[in-house]
């Protein structure tokens, strides 16, 4: 076993996985798995740079993660930064701050590599009865990755739509207006038009959704009285169940979302947009599959995602 630390720093959250990776590189055991909502991508879609307070929050969380890495004796650390860092003109300040705290330089990965890491993490624990090819969708704060494949990616695309970006761009009202929702839907559908040129989604046999927006939609669909990772992981929802849960979250007010017992406080203001993106992806993929003569009746939620993929890659580098 090799003990590694994987850090995924996205637009909305920064997450840590300390794990023991098996010698064959095919499985891992969690030691620590944490998530903090720091909203690093606050305003990046509009300004093109990190806000000072967002940098401060993110580097404070990095300090905490660095202490945990030391306490647990990790042998290697890989820090991956995604959508917001790709877009920010002042990312050098962020990179220097992380390197000072962790001793490793954060890697600003492309959307395609982000998709591949997410796919690796998701399929590492996919249920035996799921039939490939799998379409893995990682819905983040600033971007959404779609990757199709069996053992590895056969096609991948990163869309610049995510829960934070769509909230800031379109869904300002509480709850959002029909006009705002229509504008967001048009934006997502345009992104999907481009994605399906790179990813043959009509071949999908199993649709697997990852990350906080999708797990929260799943908690809503399951009627959970608290966030329960074990019940959410591997949950299978019909397309109608997904759409109903997404609509409930999209049309709820912030006050109603705050009262939901499974809701993370850092997702209250952006979950409506995340739900809208997931709804549009699921319905579009189902339509493409049907047009090709197939059928897609359900979506599977996974709690294993890019963090797991980063951990596997960190172990492979030792």
The structural domains of the chain, with segments of one domain joined by +, span 2-111, 117-302
287: tokens are 């339509």
Average pLDDT over residues 110-128: 83
Strands across the sheet with 76-81, in order?
28-37, 13-21, 2-9, 76-81, 107-108
Handedness of CA 57, 60, 62, 64 (dihedral sign): negative
Cα–Cα distance for residue pair 2/207, rounded to 1 Å: 31
The helix/strand/coil state of 124 is coil
The helix/strand/coil state of 39 is coil
What whole-number percentage of the chain has pLDDT above 90? 74
Cα–Cα distance for residue pair 245/223, rounded to 1 Å: 10
Q: How far is CA 137 from the centre of its chain?
A: 8
Residues 6+ apart with CB under 8 A from 45: 87, 142, 164, 165, 168, 169
Average pLDDT over residues 123-148: 89
Average pLDDT over residues 208-223: 96
Average pLDDT over residues 258-285: 96
**Domain 117-302 coded CATH 2.40.160.60:** no
The helix/strand/coil state of 90 is coil
The helix/strand/coil state of 192 is helix
> Does pLDDT of 284 surpass 80?
yes
CB 116 within 8 A of CB 153: yes
**Chain mean pLDDT for the chain:** 93
Cα–Cα distance for residue pair 200/92, rounded to 1 Å: 36
> Does pLDDT of 249 surpass 70?
yes
pLDDT of residue 87: 77
Choose among 300, 76, 110: nearest CA to 210.
300
Q: State which H helix or E strand residue 230 sits in.
A: helix 229-232
pLDDT of residue 83: 67
Peptide bond into 203 cis (omega under 30): no
pLDDT (tens digit per residue) in 5-51: 999 998 888 999 999 999 888 889 999 999 998 988 888 888 888 89
Instruction: Please give the residue that has the higher pLDDT: either 285 or 81.
Output: 285
Cα–Cα distance for residue pair 55/36, rounded to 1 Å: 14
CATH placement of domain 2-111: 3.30.420.40
Angle at 256 between CA 218 and CA 276, to 5 degrees: 45
- Are the folds of 2-111 and 117-302 the same? yes
Tokens 């990616």 belong to residue: 153
């Amino acid at each position: 076993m090799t003990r590694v630390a994987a850090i995924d720093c996205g637009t909305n959250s920064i997450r840590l996985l300390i794990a023991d990776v098996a010698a064959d590189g095919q499985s891992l055991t969690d030691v620590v798995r944490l998530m903090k909502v720091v909203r690093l991508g606050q305003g990046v879609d509009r300004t093109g740079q990190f806000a000072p307070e967002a940098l401060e929050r993110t580097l404070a969380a990095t300090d905490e993660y660095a202490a945990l890495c030391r306490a647990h004796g990790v042998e290697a650390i890989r820090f991956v930064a995604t959508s917001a860092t790709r877009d920010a003109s002042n990312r050098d300040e962020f990179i220097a701050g992380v390197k000072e705290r962790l001793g490793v330089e954060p890697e600003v990965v492309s959307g395609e590599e982000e998709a591949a890491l997410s796919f690796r993490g998701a399929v590492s624990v996919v249920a035996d009865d799921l039939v490939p090819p799998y379409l893995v969708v990682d819905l983040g704060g600033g971007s959404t990755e779609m990757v199709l494949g069996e053992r590895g990616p056969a096609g991948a695309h990163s869309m610049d739509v995510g829960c934070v970006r769509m909230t800031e761009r379109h869904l300002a009202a509480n709850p959002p207006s029909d006009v705002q929702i229509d504008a967001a839907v048009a934006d997502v559908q345009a992104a999907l038009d481009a994605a399906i040129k790179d990813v043959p989604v009509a071949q999908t046999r199993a649709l697997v959704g990852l990350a906080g927006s999708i797990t929260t939609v799943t908690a809503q669909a399951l009627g959970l009285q608290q966030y329960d990772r074990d019940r959410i992981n591997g949950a299978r929802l019909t397309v109608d169940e997904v759409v109903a849960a997404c609509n409930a979250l999209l049309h709820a007010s912030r006050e109603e979302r705050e009262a939901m017992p499974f809701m993370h406080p850092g997702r209250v203001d952006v979950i409506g947009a995340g739900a809208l993106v997931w709804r549009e992806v699921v319905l579009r993929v189902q339509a493409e599959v049907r047009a090709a003569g197939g059928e897609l009746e359900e979506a599977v939620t996974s709690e294993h995602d890019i963090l797991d993929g980063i951990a596997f890659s960190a172990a492979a580098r030792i």
